[in-house]
Structure 1
């Protein structure tokens, strides 16, 4: 599976509230379980659909996307004061080691999945830091989201996280998506 991105010309679809049927703000918040002063990154933030809600509950959110066009669209909609946009690939993030309390990705894991990205996530997360992945499932119907052959199954995410030094706290398949919540227990080499 190669690297790909969401077409910025279709970014209005990222603001469709029907997306909440796959992951609501409250559900995402419960997976993250953040503290008010946490520093969090939204990996593949797009137009900030989930970023804004998380920003209401933490100290800082880094909206990370590889496409500057997505940040431009986000800026047009208004970026909260405690959100900083970061243009970078997930396998080369501009954060110090152990810099963040948690990261999350909603419906974008399939765009960057790979050992290098998981290793980079482990590097930037503090020990015990949490990663939350909600993504389209290969076993889904394919009527929403990317084509089935562009998706992973839950087992792929579990293996990638485990191989990257994460300990799984939650892993579940759902109708069209899957969820993984894990803690960073990797050791620096």
Structure 2
């Protein structure tokens, strides 16, 4: 069974507000692969571990029908409460027990979620539900983010990383799969026709508030918050203050460039 880390309504609400959609480079990497494999246009795409639907929305533009699934009722409720295209729907279910018929899905995706799954069971489901010639795209962004703003990018990134490193001390041991660039997930994918790309870089438009909110939405921060609420809250408050002072601005709404690196595992089921 998948590891459940995003269950509370409060955490789900923060996640919905501050988590970002797949960036342009990641989107184009996936779409190019699907075109190469002639997997689009297609009828049905399923986004597994969809959270509050950030990645699912992107799929809605390219498929006739898109279903987002997640084990967390709170996350799915947030997804349902967010306006989306009429061809998108959501279901609560584990990644390892997908409610789709054999060979019924054209494309299956998972954005920054697969490291929480039971790989062996999930991959059996991938193989079962995909049509012959169907494709899978499993991605995550890594923890080595950076910030850019004027001539203080280096200082800003240092402040962010100091805070981020303190938060990551509370990481679940499954973060190791992200740190290993999804190597184990790639190896578990049961299709001979597969590849792993580890150097997709995206600039995500953010504000100072958004960067701090992203850290708040991370599962290690939520663990930190439960263990030591005062220290956890003070860390984010002080980090935001340092960032604003370094930038020479007073508004939390000041835009910054948030750079992330994605890893993407792509595969195609044999016909």
CA distance in 1, matches of 2:99, 2:139: 23
SS of the equivalent of 2:196 reads strand
SS of the equivalent of 2:185 reads helix
Q: Is the 8 A contact 1:106 1:135 kept in 2?
A: yes
Q: State TM-score, norm by structure 1.
A: 0.80
Cα 1:105–1:32 shift into 2, 3 Å: farther
Aligned to 2:270: 185
Aligned length: 181
SS of the equivalent of 1:167 reads coil
Cα 1:75–1:131 shift into 2, 3 Å: same
> Do residues 4 (structure 1) and 17 (structure 2) align?
no
Aligned to 2:173: 149
CA distance in 2, matches of 1:92, 1:17: 25
CA distance in 2, matches of 1:30, 1:6: 31
CA RMSD of aligned residues (A): 3.0
> What are the ranges of 5 or more consecutive residues in structure 2 without an aligned counterpart?
146-163, 200-259
Aligned to 2:194: 169
Misfit runs of 4+, over 6 Å: none
Cα 1:64–1:39 shift into 2, 3 Å: same
> What are the ranges of 5 or more consecutive residues in structure 1 without an aligned counterpart?
none
Q: Is the 8 A contact 2:193 2:269 kept in 1?
A: no
Pick the structure with greater CA Rg. Answer: 2
**Deviation at residue 94 of structure 1 after TM alignment:** 0.7
Instruction: Work out which of the residue numbers 132, 140, 163 in structure 1 matches 2:137.
Output: 132
SS of the equivalent of 2:40 reads coil
Higher helix fraction: Structure 1 or Structure 2? 2
Q: Which 10-residue stretch deviates more, 15-24 or 127-136?
A: 15-24
CA distance in 1, matches of 2:194, 2:104: 21
**Deviation at residue 74 of structure 1 after TM alignment:** 1.3
